């Protein structure tokens, strides 16, 4: 809605407007296929040009050799051409009828996300102990520190990249999907006719389709069995069990309702190439997570500098290896 209002104002005053999007590597920070992201822009807001920034790891994956660079650029250009067709042909009817549904989903999803991250006792302790986020801060990557204020472990202080990086390393991938299952379920509970509406939105609205397809990818990269092992790193076992149970329940709910809305039997059934690619990584990626868990436990149990030096180097290498397998950091 904000983009449509901006385009409306600039058009009224004769100002040329180019949309400018910053995209991270993870779904939680605007990642995902560029072609689909451009098509998902509000109808009539793309006027033959768009500006995108992508972070360093994305540049490496997409543009490090001629073949992948040509493919990614062509996908971006074709997405731009399709999104700009309204400049030369009659504009198709928009999806205004879907907007109230999407607003309700956003409201329910945000409430569920905030309930977990802001109103669940010891949740931030869980984050810092059940993910390698503090060890990530030891790596020589990024141009800014992991926190806005030193020694402040609040949600307001930690920056977006270490937030999603930590959850990805521990196979939670939580920022990309948590709350979506609750929102979809809540809407369906309002009446039996809501599921067909959501299924129609998925078929006809590129924005909603991109949202749920990206959700599928994030759910596929998550692994609750491995995430449970990371949860066992938390010293307060009662809190760890309670928080993980809440995360796992929402994961299962999200998988179920996304499959129902997308009308498929398993995650990524509608993108079999990606499905096969992710499944082929697991035999290599999963052992790395178990190795990292062991290294985290040894590193944290050893209080001397000698012990820290012994475990920190292989631990940082495990973070690099898992990031390469997950294909995103932040």
Beta bridge mates, 53: 22
Would you state the structure tokens that stand for residue 140, as one six-digit string? 């020589």
Name the packing angle between helices 99-119 and 237-262 (round to 10°).
170
Give the pLDDT score at 89: 76
252-279 pLDDT, tens digit per residue, is 999 999 999 999 999 999 999 999 999 9
DSSP 90-128: PPPP--GGGHHHHHHHHHHHHHHHHHHHHHSTTHHHHHH
Measured CA distances, 151 to 30, 154, 233 (Å): 28, 9, 21
Coil, helix or strand for 220?
Answer: helix
In Å, how far are 51, 230, 243 from 119, measured between CA atoms?
Answer: 37, 22, 11
Task: State the pLDDT confidence band at 245, using cuts at 50, 70 and 90.
Answer: very high
Q: How confident is the model at residue 91 (pLDDT cuts 50, 70, 90)?
A: low
pLDDT, one tens digit per residue, over 92-120 is 666 888 999 999 999 999 999 999 999 99
Backbone angles phi, psi at 134, to 5 degrees: -70, -30
pLDDT at 146 over 90: no
Task: Check: CB of residue 160 under 8 Å from CB of residue 328.
Answer: no
pLDDT tens sequence across 27-76: 666 667 778 888 878 777 788 888 888 776 677 778 888 998 898 889 88
Assigned token pair, 16: 């040329």
Residue 156 has pLDDT above 90, yes or no: no
Domain residue limits, the chain: 2-87, 98-326
Q: What is the DSSP string of 128-186?
A: HHHS-HHHHTTSS-SSS-SBSSTT--STTTB-HHHHHHHHHHTT--GGGTTTHHHHHHH
SS3 for 244? helix
Q: Is the pLDDT higher at 93 or at 221?
A: 221
Residues 6 or more apart in contact with residue 146 via CB below 8 angstroms: 133, 136, 137, 158, 159, 161, 162
For 288-323, how does the pLDDT look when each residue is reduced to its tens digit (9 = 90+)? 999 999 999 999 988 655 555 789 999 999 999 998
């Amino acid at each position: 809605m904000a983009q449509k209002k901006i385009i409306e104002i600039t058009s009224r005053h004769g100002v040329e407007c180019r949309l400018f999007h910053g995209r991270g590597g993870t779904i939680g920070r605007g990642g995902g296929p560029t072609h689909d992201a451009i098509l998902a822009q509000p109808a009539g807001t793309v006027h033959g040009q768009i500006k995108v920034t992508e972070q360093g790891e994305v540049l490496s994956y997409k543009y490090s050799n001629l073949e992948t660079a040509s493919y990614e650029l062509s996908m971006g250009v074709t997405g731009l051409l399709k999104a700009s067709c309204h400049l030369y042909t009659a504009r198709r009817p928009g999806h205004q009828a879907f907007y109230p549904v999407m607003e309700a989903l956003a409201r329910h999803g945000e409430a569920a996300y905030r309930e977990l991250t802001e109103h669940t006792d010891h949740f931030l302790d869980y984050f810092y102990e059940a993910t390698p986020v503090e060890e990530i801060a030891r790596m020589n990557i990024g141009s800014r520190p992991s926190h806005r204020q030193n020694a402040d472990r609040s949600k307001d202080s930690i920056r977006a990249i270490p937030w999603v990086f930590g959850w990805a390393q521990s196979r939670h991938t939580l920022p990309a999907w948590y709350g979506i299952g609750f929102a979809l379920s809540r809407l369906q509970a309002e009446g039996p006719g809501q599921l067909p509406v959501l299924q129609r939105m998925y078929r006809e609205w590129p924005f909603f389709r991109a949202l749920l397809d990206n959700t599928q990818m994030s759910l596929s990269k998550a692994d609750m069995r491995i995430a449970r092992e990371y949860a066992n790193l938390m010293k307060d076992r009662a809190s760890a069990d309670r928080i993980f149970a809440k995360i796992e329940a929402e994961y299962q709910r999200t998988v179920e309702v996304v499959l129902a809305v997308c009308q498929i039997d398993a995650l990524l059934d509608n993108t079999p190439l990606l499905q096969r690619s992710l499944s082929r990584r697991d035999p290599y990626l999963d052992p790395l997570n178990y190795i990292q868990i062991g290294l985290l436990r040894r590193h944290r149990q050893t209080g001397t500098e000698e012990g820290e030096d012994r475990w920190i180097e292989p631990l940082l290498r495990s973070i690099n290896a898992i990031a390469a397998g997950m294909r995103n950091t932040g």
